[in-house]
Amino acid sequence: MDEKELVKKAQQGHEDAFAALVETYRRKMFNLAYSFTRNRESADDLAQEVFLKAYLSLPKFQFKSSFGTWLYRIAVNTSKDHLRKEGKVQKVPFDESPADMMLHEDEMAKREEAEIQEDRKTLLRLALKTLPEKYKVILTLRDIQGFPYGEIAEILNLSAGTVDSRLHRARKLLRKKVHLLTAQLGGTHAV
């Protein structure tokens, strides 16, 4: 089910649909709140507050922007309000040294990179599913399983030249499919 359908179902009161949206954005909201507060507990509380506000405001959501954009707007405003109430631009615990803060930033950067890699893999899997069988098989054997050309030729009972040309066409078609999927999803995934 795509995000728009999940939002519509959540607006109709389906708690599992809203739970799926929370799961999709949970880490992103925590990371955003953490970037404002630099405090894990505060970031956790803020992320929960963002989802509560989103849940309560969901009936008013009119799809003028994507759900993610709307949610980020709530998160930024909630974080700014929190900082205003605390009277601080950035909340840093006394027991957290600059070195600790750097470790947290490294951790967040690693998590963000892992999420990007996972998004890329998902996009590739989706694009791969849309390919004709002969291209799907050859890409799976070569690029996923790592078989050498000679073994692929034997497995598929093809000449080495046919394996090479089919693999070239398969990769070209896969790039095109990824580009189309990326455009449909409204992103700019570099694969």
SS3 letters for 76-127?
HHHHHHHHHHHCCCCCCCCCCCHHHHHHHHHHHHHHHHHHHHHHHHHHHHHH
168 and 116 in a common domain = yes
Q: What whole-number distance in Å separates Cα of residue 117 and Cα of residue 138?
A: 23
pLDDT digits (tens, 9 = 90+) for 10-32: 999 999 999 999 999 999 888 88
70 and 128 in a common domain = no
Where residue 180 sits, what CATH number does that domain have?
Answer: 1.10.10.10
Q: Which domain holds residue 104?
A: 97-191
Mean pLDDT of 166-189: 82
54 and 14 in a common domain = yes
How far is CA 129 from each of CA 40, 55, 183, 188, rounded to the nearest angstrom? Answer: 39, 34, 17, 20
Least reliable range by pLDDT among 4-13, 17-26, 174-183: 174-183
- For the full predicted model, state whether its pTM sits above 0.75: no
26 and 111 in a common domain = no
Q: Could you please report the per-residue DSSP string of 140-185?
A: IIIIIS---HHHHHHHHT--HHHHHHHHHHHHHHHHHHHHHHHHHH
Q: What whole-number distance in Å separates Cα of residue 155 and Cα of residue 126?
A: 25
165 and 107 in a common domain = yes
Q: How many domains does the chain contain in total?
A: 2
For residue 123, what pLDDT is reported?
82
- Reported as a pLDDT band with limits 50, 70 and 90, residue 7 is very high
Domain boundary among 35, 67, 96: 96
For residue 121, what pLDDT is reported?
80
Nearest alpha-carbon partner for 105 in 31, 48, 44, 42: 31
92 and 43 in a common domain = yes
81 and 40 in a common domain = yes
34 and 113 in a common domain = no
Q: Return the number of other C-beta atoms located less than 10 Å from residue 162's C-beta.
A: 14
For residue 14, what pLDDT is reported?
93
Where residue 37 sits, what CATH number does that domain have?
Answer: 1.10.1740.10
For residue 155, what pLDDT is reported?
85
Task: Label residue 123 left, alpha or beta by phi (over 0 means left) and psi (-120 to 50 means alpha).
Answer: alpha
170 and 104 in a common domain = yes
pLDDT digits (tens, 9 = 90+) for 48-104: 999 999 999 999 999 988 898 888 888 888 888 888 888 754 444 545 555 555 556
